[in-house]
Amino acid sequence: MALAPLSHVVSDRTTCWLLGDQLNPDLDVLDAADDVLLIEAHGFADRKPYHAHKLTLVFSAMRHFRDELRDRGRDVTYVRAESFGEGLDEFLAERGGGEVGDGGGDSDGGGDGDGPRLRLMRPASHGAGERLRELVAERGGTLELVDNELFWTTPADWRAWAGEEGTEIGADGAADRTYRQENWYRHVRRETGVLMDGEEPVGGEWNYDDLNQETPPDDWEPPARPAFEPDDLTRETHAWVCERFDTWGNDSLDEFAWPVTREAALDALDRFVREGLPAFGRYEDAMVGGEPFLSHSVLSPMINLGLLDPHEPVRAVERAYEERGVEPGAYDPAEHGEFDAGAAATSLDDFDGGGTDGGGAASSGEGAEEETGAAADEEPAPVPLNAAEGFIRQVIGWREFVRHVYREAMPELADANRLAQSRELPPAYWDGDTDMRCLSEAVGHVREYGYAHHIERLMVLSNFALVYGVDPAELNEWFHLGFVDAYHWVTTPNVVAMGSFGTDVLSSKPYASSGSYVNRMSDHCADCRYAVSRTTGEGACPFNALYWDFLKENEETLRGTGRMGLMYSHVDGKDEEEWESIRERAERVRELAADGEL
């Protein structure tokens, strides 16, 4: 007996389809849904070697989310398939039939057909919503796309601020309209009231970044990273990932401590606000050997998965400042509670490189709960305003900003290459085998944890690739494969536009620096076999010659761009003999790096 058309079976039902980065059980979009669809699509992980921890985190979080929804009484269909199309076919078959082309679909997403009705929060990645809507329409249904609740602002909010005119990136990487994060950040603060005192920012200043660029003393110890012991489902998922896919990076669960449930993510947020936040601001840009996490929140994977609503960490930090707040720079974490006016800060502008246009990722486990309980017995440290503001800027400023710039500038953004860089990524980015201490540390963090903090990402990993001459698209893919918090909408503006200066759409100048910045902001150079004090000759810091060679090679494009005047005044001060030595050293560094011998 033939199955009845699906339109005769479930025409009065609305299914909420949630993707693997929308894993929040408290979403409003669930309220009007009759049932929930989750499709665990695997095909993407067959095409490229993703970090094992990234795949384990995503798939384990999805499976835990499925179970949590069912525990809450939701009717959940969970499909494991190679693609979303195959997953939809299986879902429709389970619901009573329906063949591709049965009719009833409306490619605009809100049609009046009798086919299955699905509702989906608009995905952040370019074109994904339209592609998924077409898949549903081909199968006789309609897919309604609604605003994504897992952001502070909507496309309409951006349009109201930016105006109706969008931007286009030309073949030369130049954008016909550019955007700057600081302007957007202040607008969002005003609109949301976050850290505001009436019409003015709390404390009288919008940005305290100048207080967030110190390095800790040698005897300072950061708070321990919250550790969430993998449960049976996570272990099962990880074993399947390692057997099923060709992965990259650490494939052991020994260092896997990521929250995979909303409960655990909220625990991680509580730990950060109590223990990490007080020192976060002051040491936000520091790099310390053997310390991958310092006082960073490490919440970006949970926010980008949806386990945390981005409103939650912002409001939690704002509350912490209201309850424990002190003046900017007034709390010195190295003194464990003694108050200090703060020390001299370091800026990228001090090192002939990079300015700041405003930017800068089951149960929780008994270990985490015990540590949290022990810490709760102590009075939490004060929260200086520069720490609270710095964290909040990362979320409602930078995260929201790059999401909208990505929407505006795609698809051209992904291929932007203003400096015509074309070199392949050096082998050290994959194996971490290099005598450059800073690069070895940063790559090692990615290999071990699928994570490195924002300064390692920008001023080591991206900076070296920039002055070396790596194709921005290749670097973007490496970030996408290796970082547990990476999605196309996240990495593309950060890596292509900001880190590689593939376009000027969100930054007025490249974030390029010699070894001086790394030396001032880290302890790496003291233990490196390369001499940061030298630019040329055997044993000179590779960053130095590459940096000057980069400026010389790209002079036609960069001279006069943004705030490049000081840098090119130094370029002009070098004679031809010095330039010959620089070019010779830069060429040798590139040869060594390409051969995996740097």
- Model confidence pLDDT, tens digit, residues 421-452: 999 999 999 999 999 999 999 999 999 999 99
Query: Considering the chain, what is the average pLDDT of its residues?
Result: 88
Q: What is the largest CA-CA distance in the chain?
A: 88
- Residue 14 host element (H or E): strand 14-18
What is the domain extent for residue 29? 6-146
Q: Mean pLDDT lowest for which of 330-334, 498-502, 593-597?
A: 330-334
Residue 343 has pLDDT above 50, yes or no: no
Q: Given this model, what pLDDT does residue 50 score?
A: 97
- Residue 77 host element (H or E): strand 76-81
Distance (Å, rounded) from C-alpha 302 to C-alpha 300? 5
Residue range 349-366: mean pLDDT, rounded: 37
Residue 373 has pLDDT above 50, yes or no: no
Q: Given this model, what pLDDT does residue 84 score?
A: 96
Is the bond into 411 cis (omega within 30 degrees of 0)?
yes
Task: Tell me if 19 is assigned to some domain.
Answer: yes
Residue range 340-352: mean pLDDT, rounded: 40
Three-point CA angle 240, 242, 245, nearest 5°: 95
Which CATH number do you get for residue 118? 3.40.50.620
**Phi, psi (5° rounding) for residue 120?**
-140, 135
Q: Given this model, what pLDDT does residue 11 score?
A: 53
Which CATH number do you get for residue 573? 1.10.579.10
Residue range 534-541: mean pLDDT, rounded: 96
Q: Closest Cα partner for 535 from 501, 592, 574, 591?
A: 574
Q: Mean pLDDT lowest for which of 5-14, 112-121, 256-265, 404-413?
A: 5-14
Residue range 101-118: mean pLDDT, rounded: 55
Residue range 382-387: mean pLDDT, rounded: 95
Residue range 84-97: mean pLDDT, rounded: 87
| Tokens representing residue 454 in the block | 């924002």
Q: Given this model, what pLDDT does residue 375 score?
A: 47
The pLDDT-based confidence of 164 (bands split at 50, 70, 90) is confident
Residue 352 has pLDDT above 60, yes or no: no
By DSSP bridging, strand 325-326 and strand 383-384 are parallel
Task: Tell me if 495 is assigned to some domain.
Answer: yes
The pLDDT-based confidence of 408 (bands split at 50, 70, 90) is very high
Q: Closest Cα partner for 454 from 571, 294, 248, 325?
A: 294
Give 79 or 356, the one with higher predicted confidence: 79
Q: Given this model, what pLDDT does residue 433 score?
A: 96
Task: Tell me if 281 is assigned to some domain.
Answer: no
Distance (Å, rounded) from C-alpha 483 to C-alpha 486? 5
Residue range 522-545: mean pLDDT, rounded: 96
Q: Given this model, what pLDDT does residue 200 score?
A: 96
Distance (Å, rounded) from C-alpha 405 to C-alpha 162? 10
**Phi, psi (5° rounding) for residue 261?**
-130, 160
Residue 478 has pLDDT above 60, yes or no: yes
The pLDDT-based confidence of 114 (bands split at 50, 70, 90) is low
| Tokens representing residue 110 in the block | 């809100």
Distance (Å, rounded) from C-alpha 512 to C-alpha 355? 9
- Residue 158 host element (H or E): helix 155-162
Dihedral of the alpha carbons of 384, 386, 389, 392, in degrees to the nearest 10 = -90
Task: Tell me if 255 is assigned to some domain.
Answer: no
Domain boundary among 131, 146, 161: 146
Residue 582 has pLDDT above 90, yes or no: yes
Distance (Å, rounded) from C-alpha 16 to C-alpha 34? 8
Question: What's the Rg (C-alpha) of the chain?
Answer: 25
What size, in residues, is the chain? Answer: 598
- Model confidence pLDDT, tens digit, residues 284-315: 999 999 999 999 999 999 999 999 999 999 99
The pLDDT-based confidence of 105 (bands split at 50, 70, 90) is very low
Domain boundary among 82, 111, 146: 146
Residue range 461-473: mean pLDDT, rounded: 97
Domain boundary among 146, 176, 191: 146
Distance (Å, rounded) from C-alpha 313 to C-alpha 523? 30
Q: Given this model, what pLDDT does residue 333 score?
A: 86
Residue range 179-202: mean pLDDT, rounded: 95
Domains in the chain: how many in total? Answer: 2
Give 439 or 166, the one with higher predicted confidence: 439
The pLDDT-based confidence of 336 (bands split at 50, 70, 90) is low
Residue 146 has pLDDT above 90, yes or no: yes
Task: Tell me if 426 is assigned to some domain.
Answer: no
- Model confidence pLDDT, tens digit, residues 30-77: 998 999 999 999 999 999 999 999 999 999 999 999 999 999 999 999
Task: Tell me if 96 is assigned to some domain.
Answer: yes
Task: Tell me if 115 is assigned to some domain.
Answer: yes
Task: Tell me if 118 is assigned to some domain.
Answer: yes
- Please state, for a pLDDT cut of 90, what percent of the chain lies above it: 79
Residue 340 has pLDDT above 80, yes or no: no
The pLDDT-based confidence of 479 (bands split at 50, 70, 90) is very high
Residue 237 has pLDDT above 70, yes or no: yes
Q: For 314, how many CA atoms within 13 A lie in the half-sphere containing its CB?
A: 23
Q: Closest Cα partner for 55 from 244, 232, 316, 198?
A: 244
